[in-house]
């Protein structure tokens, strides 16, 4: 492809050399993957500066370089203000702007992104559509799963995936959009039709300076809504009006907004909410009429997730009846309030709650039904937001009865230090068992009929990352094995 064709999509650049005759084979952001004829884009990263690898890329045959500074190179150098965002535009153009052909829904917020994207996928499949899904657990294109490295992929892999979706005749693609991705321009240039906001609470303060900065990153999804070349379809923002962040987000978009909620007046509202042991039921009032919802999903937070996905589905033209059926038959998400059933007399639930707010939501839901003791096994990840650790411990202490603090993914941190961060302000009433399997075992041994064990923080994860090594570890498998073992030793 001619480089000048691609550069039409980059709003501002300068170059010292002639580029008119240059064609490129591919685009690369990693010098190690450059092949002859590629365009190499230098990205200033968090670990290293990609500009350092320009010479390496040229040695491997790069036909041209995109950079944020003038570099000495034997090939043309195209200088841009922001190479991450330039890469996103180049990638979209290289794959023929695939998002213009998809109904693309982006979901952002601290908690509930994976849950809402899975609900939306269920709704669109119930509507007989071919779907694409991108998020924390995996990517799937027309039912075929692919592994992922990030919740939101880098812009190059993302546009390639969108192109694959177009080839597979995907009608609607639903994706999680993390605040990191928005900040780094990974979704820049993607033509979203609907942008959904779930909620904002404390997380990622290792990356964002403060909560305002975190919200500013989230607001970029709403600010870019409708900023593409495709003006044929109406765009919509779907916003949780019960969130204190709602007003700022509503003001950040120039597109029509549909609000949802339970407390504040909104376009989609839930009333007559019944949260019970087997799920939820409520009346959903929408601009298209009211409908009774029953679902096996647990807790008030699931009502919010259903309202968010109903809003996005309705503006995409799906009927209320299809939405109602999808909610009724929802299978839930792996590792999200997932029960582990081995015929034991108490409940065991594995959940991905790794923020104070999600832990509180899950524990509140359990407290409503549990007649016995609530055992909580929880830890915090290493190399991530330190300031949420003590708050998560407080939440566990407030709602749980038998608290065991343990390791999550320590990554490169000392697990002992993470546990210190969680507990140093507490005096008593908890136990620390660093080894996660032993911690789960302790809860299983102590649980009695009518109790619930919550194993929080790792959900669907099938590994535990310690010092750069990922060891096999699946909370669900570990719990299952321990439950079977305890049953055998009791018989």
Ligand X SMILES: Nc1ncnc2c1ncn2[C@@H]1O[C@H](COP(=O)(O)OP(=O)(O)OP(=O)(O)O)[C@@H](O)[C@H]1O
Ligand Y SMILES: CC(=O)N[C@H]1[C@@H](OP(=O)(O)OP(=O)(O)OC[C@H]2O[C@@H](n3ccc(=O)[nH]c3=O)[C@H](O)[C@@H]2O)O[C@H](CO)[C@@H](O)[C@@H]1O[C@H](C)C(=O)N[C@@H](C)C(=O)N[C@H](CCC(=O)O)C(=O)O
Ligand Z SMILES: N[C@H](CCC[C@H](N)C(=O)O)C(=O)O
Is the Cβ of residue 131 or residue 136 nearer to Mg ion in the bound state? 136
Give the span between the Cα atoms of 196 and 460, in whole angstroms.
23
Residue 87 CB-density burial (10 A; 0-12 exposed, 13-18 middle, 19+ buried): buried
End-to-end Cα distance, the chain: 70
Is the Cβ of residue 125 or residue 411 nearer to ligand Z in the bound state? 411
Give the span between the Cα atoms of 373 and 376, in whole angstroms.
10
Tell me the window of 147-155, 284-292, 445-453, 469-477 that interacts with ligand Y (CB under 6 A). 147-155
Smallest distance, Å, CB 132 to ligand Y? 17
Is the Cβ of residue 154 or residue 421 nearer to ligand Y in the bound state? 154
Give the span between the Cα atoms of 107 and 119, in whole angstroms.
12
Choose which of 180, 334, 367, 480 interacts with ligand Y (CB under 6 A). Answer: 180
Q: Can residue 458 be called a binding residue for ligand Z (CB under 6 A)?
A: yes
Residues 87-106 that bind ligand Y (CB under 6 A): none
Tell me the window of 5-13, 27-35, 245-253, 476-484 that interacts with ligand Y (CB under 6 A). 27-35
Residue 412 CB-density burial (10 A; 0-12 exposed, 13-18 middle, 19+ buried): exposed
Give the span between the Cα atoms of 369 and 366, in whole angstroms.
6
Residues 197-256 that bind ligand Z (CB under 6 A): none
Q: Can residue 409 be called a binding residue for ligand Z (CB under 6 A)?
A: yes
Tell me the window of 155-163, 324-332, 346-354, 392-400 that interacts with ligand X (CB under 6 A). 346-354
Q: Can residue 151 be called a binding residue for ligand X (CB under 6 A)?
A: yes
Q: Can residue 113 be called a binding residue for Mg ion (CB under 5 A)?
A: yes
Q: How many CB atoms lie within 10 A of CB 486?
A: 16
What SS3 string covers 257-313?
A: EEEEECCCCCCEEEEEEEEECCEEEEEEEECCEEEEEEECCCCHHHHHHHHHHHHHH
Residues 271-330 that bind ligand X (CB under 6 A): 301, 304-305
47 binds, among Mg ion, ligand X, ligand Y, none (CB under 5 to 8 A by kind): ligand Y
Q: Can residue 408 be called a binding residue for ligand Z (CB under 6 A)?
A: yes
Q: Can residue 209 be called a binding residue for ligand Y (CB under 6 A)?
A: no
Smallest distance, Å, CB 236 to ligand X? 19
Task: Work out the angle between the directed axes of helices 436-446 and 475-490 (0-180°, nearest 10).
Answer: 40
Q: How many CB atoms lie within 10 A of CB 105?
A: 27
- Residues of this chain that interact with ligand Y (CB under 6 A) are 29-32, 43, 45-48, 50, 53, 149-152, 154, 178, 180-181, 186
């Amino acid at each position: 492809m001619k480089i000048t064709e691609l550069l039409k999509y980059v709003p501002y650049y300068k170059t010292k050399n002639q580029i008119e005759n240059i064609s490129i084979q591919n685009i690369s952001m990693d010098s190690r993957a450059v092949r002859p004829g590629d365009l190499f884009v230098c990205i200033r990263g968090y670990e290293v500066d990609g500009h350092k690898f320009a010479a390496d890329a040229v040695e491997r045959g790069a036909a041209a370089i995109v950079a944020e500074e003038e570099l000495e190179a034997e090939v043309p150098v195209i200088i841009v203000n922001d190479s991450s965002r330039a890469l996103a535009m180049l990638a979209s153009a290289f794959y023929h702007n695939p998002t213009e052909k998809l109904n693309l829904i982006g979901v952002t917020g601290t908690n509930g992104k994976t849950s809402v994207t899975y609900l939306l996928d269920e709704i669109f499949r119930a509507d007989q559509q071919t779907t694409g899904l991108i998020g924390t657990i995996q990517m799937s294109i027309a039912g075929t799963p692919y592994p992922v490295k990030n919740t939101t992929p880098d812009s190059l892999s993302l546009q390639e995936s969108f192109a694959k979706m177009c080839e597979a005749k995907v009608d609607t693609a639903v994706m999680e959009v993390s605040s990191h991705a928005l900040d780094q321009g990974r979704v820049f240039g993607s033509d979203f039709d609907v942008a959904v906001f779930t909620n904002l609470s404390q997380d990622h303060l290792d990356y964002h300076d403060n909560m305002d900065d975190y919200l500013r990153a989230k607001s970029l999804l709403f600010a870019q809504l409708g900023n593409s070349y495709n003006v044929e379809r109406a765009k919509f923002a779907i916003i949780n009006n019960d969130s204190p962040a709602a007003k700022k987000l509503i003001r950040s978009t120039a597109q029509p907004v549909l609000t949802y909620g339970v407390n504040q007046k909104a376009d989609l509202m839930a009333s007559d909410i019944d949260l019970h042991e087997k799920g939820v039921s409520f009346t959903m009032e929408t601009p298209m009429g009211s409908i009774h919802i029953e679902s096996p999903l647990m807790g008030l937070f699931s009502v919010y997730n259903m309202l968010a996905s109903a809003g996005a589905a309705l503006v995409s033209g799906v009927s209320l009846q299809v939405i109602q059926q999808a909610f009724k038959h929802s299978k839930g998400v792996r590792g999200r309030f997932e029960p582990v059933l081995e015929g034991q007399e108490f409940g065991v639930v594995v959940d991905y709650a790794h923020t104070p707010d999600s832990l509180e939501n899950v524990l509140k839901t359990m407290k409503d039904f549990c007649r016995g003791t609530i055992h909580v096994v929880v830890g915090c990840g290493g190399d991530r937001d330190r300031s949420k650790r003590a708050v998560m411990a407080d939440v566990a202490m407030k709602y749980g009865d038998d608290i065991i603090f343990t390791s999550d993914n320590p990554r490169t941190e000392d697990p002992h230090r993470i546990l210190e961060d969680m507990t140093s302000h507490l005096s008593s009433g908890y136990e620390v068992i660093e080894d996660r399997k032993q911690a789960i075992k302790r809860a299983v041994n102590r649980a009695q009929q009518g109790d619930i064990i919550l194993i929080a923080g790792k959900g669907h994860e099938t590994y535990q990352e310690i010092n750069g090594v990922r060891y096999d570890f699946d909370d669900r498998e570990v719990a299952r094995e321990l439950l079977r073992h305890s049953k055998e030793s009791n018989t």
